[in-house]
Structure 1
Amino acid sequence: MYQAIVRRDATMEGVFFVAVKTTGIFCRPGCKAKTPKRENVEFFATSAEAIAAGYRACRRCHPLELSGTVPAWLENLLSRIETEPNRRWTNADLTSLGLSPSRVRRWFQEHYQMTFHAYLRTQRLGLAVERLRSGSDVTSTALDSGFESLSGFRESLRKWVGETPTNAKQTEPILTARILTPLGPMLAAGGDSGLCLLEFADRKMLAKQFQRISKLFAQPILIGSHRVLDQTDQQVQQYFAGERTSFDLPLRIDGTPFQTAVWTQLRAIPYGQTNSYQQLAKRLGKPTASRAVGRTNGDNRFAIVIPCHRVVRSDGHLCGYAGGLWRKKWLLNWERQNSPSERQHRLPLPVE
């Protein structure tokens, strides 16, 4: 853990907190503050434990906030984007706000898998498609969405949505949103037909996952809000608060019969328990298909909701998890601590 704070290893977010005895402050593993000496630090599993030991939260890395929370330097910009969603921002506009365009670009690439200007463009197009589907005419929609000409609007729709304005009225886009968790931000994607994807934002190959679902469902992916995304956010927060042990979200699974069968078995693994790949294969009536089960496990697009983190090797050891083994360990420990049987065990005895 000490080597992790020396490296400022942000991948250890959620695993532990580090407290500095000489300053009385506790931080995240990736805090950019000066690295303390080894003899001056101690480690805690939760922020509550650090506070109980008398430490106060660092004002630089804000360990009491959910990982992925919008940093203070970006709050004004995001607030203005929310107020003026159709504005065409330029690098000069960012500079006038005291922001570095390259720093803003890096933040959006890390948290949305796209540049700042691509984010603005997809947001404007998402709003435009929503207006078209609600019955607005093409010309007013183009002008209200921040496009300077009807031809530019048509070209953007063809490029990003793959449709003309007329056809876009019947197009159901896949909308995306960020969800903050103690283990880092997640990206959710879905629409009227249900949730298509829920993954940690730092997962490798996530951009290809988005391309895959766009091709699979023949729908464009845009920035926007939707009731299924709000529902997903609510249920994820309940899970991390220890208030939910299963999910009832509408999922667009769309896999082969074998994949669907595997994912169904995954959802049947009880909260707080684990199964091996071999156990899953036997339950499917295919005892020699452990490897195929493992591959299908890795193809799961719904982190936590379809609990592939509950699958371990036959010897009990943890193995591959796209979100990182440290997250898998955290999730399994969290579920064991918050399982109904464990909570019942911790209840105080009734007073007679």
Structure 2
Amino acid sequence: MLFERPSDDILYDALLARDAAYEGFAWVAVKTTGIFCRLTCPARKPKRENTIFYETIAGCLEAGFRPCYRCRPMLKFGETDPVVTKLLAALEDEPLRRWNEDDVVSLGLDPSTARRAFKRQFGMSFLEIARLRRMGKAAETLQQGASVIDAQLDAGFESDSGFRSAIARLFGTAPAGMRDKTLLKADWLETPIGPMLAVADQHCLHLLEFAERRALPAEIRKLQTCTGSGIVMGRHAPIDQIEMELKTYFAGEDLGFSTRLAGHGSPFQRRVWEALRAIPVGTVRTYGSVAAELALPSSTRAIAGANGANQIAIVIPCHRVMGADGSLTGYGGGLWRKRWLLEHERRMAGNVMGDLVRQR
């Protein structure tokens, strides 16, 4: 019993009391701010439901949290080792820098000595910690509504593969309390007009959105709430299926989409979405014409609202709906993408007509 980790309730009481007896046994991460602190941090205390306790600093960093500037948990923990102290101070000054061994040498330190010192203190090397700091910053930037490429560049990633693992924080981690819950899986799909995020269970697709959509974090939270499920990075079969169908679509072949979709939305919204799916490739409708087809001529604004609530981009083709004056109007993935998709589909429809003429 003496070696068991204190319960979260005990740790939260220690946090409120700023009890130094628990210093070094655990660190507190605050979900609403994205930071982690020592239990003796003098900052205003978070609510219990907004706290997560980790046994190691590495665990805090791996979950995407950044160290508190007030209590400096990493500097405090490593202050007995001058090598650790010097490197952590440098990291605090430049948290977004892409650190490498040459940078360590430029500070007058031996990389091997620094590696051993950090492994001893934190269980990971300085370069690993520096990378996790950049990843955490990238997740924070994206959650604030920045574009994927902006967040990627802010974090110092030259490629998007490492960056995307950082924003797994959007989904949170799967705590022990979720062991009995269904887990949705999410993965990135490459397209000619930018990455898309697909979320699915074993049977159907729940979400397909462009990664730059400002509402994406809110949509993910909404999905978690309405399904009662956690979301982890990985793949279920519907993601593989929609990936293949999207490749065919972007290659210019109009074979449609047969991936099963989850039945989210109100009955009215689902009715509108079915009407959108009935719009042929290469053609467009206005909100008013969709309302008329549904025998709801006075529901133009409600049609537009349902259009905006769509979380399955391209497959439910809300991009095929225009304003009454022929303007592109809003599109969550960006008007430039809407224009690109319509032009792509115009060419796609033209190719189909050409094939029919040649067959005659």
TM-score, structure 2 normalization: 0.55
> 4+ runs of 1 displaced by more than 6 Å?
346-350
Give the deviation of 1:329 after TM superposition.
0.3
Q: Does 1:278 align with 2:310?
A: no
- Note if contact 1:105-1:115 (Cα within 8 Å) is conserved in structure 2: yes
Distance change in 2, residues 1:118/1:254 (3 Å): closer
> Which of 332, 341, 346 in structure 2 is aligned with 1:336?
346
Deviation at 1:185, TM superposition (A): 0.5
| Aligned: 1:103 with 2:141 | no
Q: 2:256 aligns with which of 246, 253, 261?
A: 246
CA shift at 1:120, angstroms?
Answer: 11
Partner of 2:233: 223
The CA RMSD measured in Å over matched residues stands at 3.0
Residue in structure 2 matching 1:265, options 272, 275, 279: 275
Q: Give the aligned partner of residue 304 of structure 1.
A: 314
CA contact 1:281–1:289 (8 Å) conserved in 2? yes
Amino acid at match of 1:95: L
Structure 1 residue matching 2:271: 3-state secondary structure: helix
Check 1:208–1:349 CA distance in 2 against 1; reply closer, same or farther (3 A cut). Answer: closer
- Matches of residues 73-222 of structure 1 in structure 2 within 5 Å? 92-93=124-125, 95=127, 100-107=131-138, 110=142, 115=166, 118=169, 122=173, 125=174, 156-158=175-177, 161=178, 165=179, 168=180, 171-222=181-232
Cα distance, 1:344 vs. partner? 3.9
TM-score, structure 1 as length reference: 0.56
Conserved 8 A contact 1:245-1:271: no
- Residue 298 of structure 1 and its aligned partner are, at CA, apart by 0.1
Distance 1:211 1:348, change over 3 A: same
> CA–CA distance in 2 between the matches of 1:322 and 1:256?
20
Q: For the residues of structure 2 that align with 1:252 and 1:199, how far apart are their CA atoms?
A: 14
Letter matched to residue 196 of structure 1? H
Indicate conservation of the 8 Å contact 1:312/1:319, yes or no: yes
> How far apart are residue 95 of structure 1 and its match?
0.6
Superposed displacement of residue 101, structure 1:
3.4
Output the CA distance in 2 between the equivalents of 1:91 and 1:105.
18
Specify the alignment match of 2:354 in structure 1: 345
Residue identity matched to 2:285: N
2: distance between equivalents of 1:91 and 1:296? 50
User: What is the CA distance between 1:342 and its match in structure 2?
Assistant: 3.5
Change (3 A) 1:120 1:307: closer
Question: Cα distance 1:157–1:276, how it changes in 2: closer, same or farther (>3 A)?
Answer: same
- In the TM superposition, what is the alpha-carbon distance from 1:213 to its structure 2 partner? 0.9
Secondary structure at the aligned position of 2:198 is classed as strand
Residues 174 and 221 of structure 1 are in contact (CA less than 8 Å); yes or no, is this contact kept in structure 2? yes
Q: Alpha-carbon deviations, 1:76-103, whole Å to 9, x = none?
A: xxxxxxxxxxxxxx79447159x64333
1:231 Cα deviation from its structure 2 partner: 0.8
Take 1:117 and 1:270, find their aligned partners in 2: how far apart are those partners? 36
* Residue identity opposite 1:313 in structure 2: G
Residue equivalent to 1:47: none
Give the Cα–Cα distance (whole angstroms) in 2 for the partners of residues 342 and 248 of structure 1.
Answer: 22
8 Å Cα contact 2:291/2:303 also seen in 1: yes
Give the Cα–Cα distance (whole angstroms) in 2 for the partners of residues 336 and 244 of structure 1. 11
Higher mean displacement: 316-325 or 242-251: 242-251
- Flag the 1:93–1:242 CA change in 2: closer, same or farther, 3 A: farther
Higher relative contact order (CA 8 A, sep 6+): 1
The total of aligned residue pairs comes to 219
Look up the match of 1:143. Answer: none
Which has the larger displacement, 248-257 or 302-311?
Answer: 248-257
Task: Check whether the contact 2:207–2:312 (CA below 8 A) recurs between aligned residues.
Answer: yes
Distance 1:335 1:275, change over 3 A: same
Q: Distance in 1 between matches of 2:338 and 2:302?
A: 20
Distance across 2 between alignment mates of 1:290 and 1:284: 10
Partners of 1:108 and 1:114 within 8 A in 2: no
Instruction: Answer yes or no: is the 8 Å Cα contact 1:113–1:207 preserved in 2.
Output: no
Unaligned 5+ residue runs, structure 2?
Answer: 1-97, 99-121, 143-147, 149-162
Contact 2:170 2:217 in 1 (8 A): no
> How far does residue 172 in structure 1 lie from its aligned partner after superposition?
2.0
Query: 2:127 is aligned with what amino acid?
Result: T
CA pair 104-287 structure 1, distance change in 2 beyond 3 A: same
Deviation per CA, 1:254-300: give whole Å up to 9, x if none. 22121111001000000111000000101111101100000000000
Aligned-residue offset at 1:243: 2.1
Shift of 1:193: 3.4
Deviation at 1:113, TM superposition (A): 7.9
Distance, in Å, in 1 between the alignment partners of 2:127 and 2:263 is 44
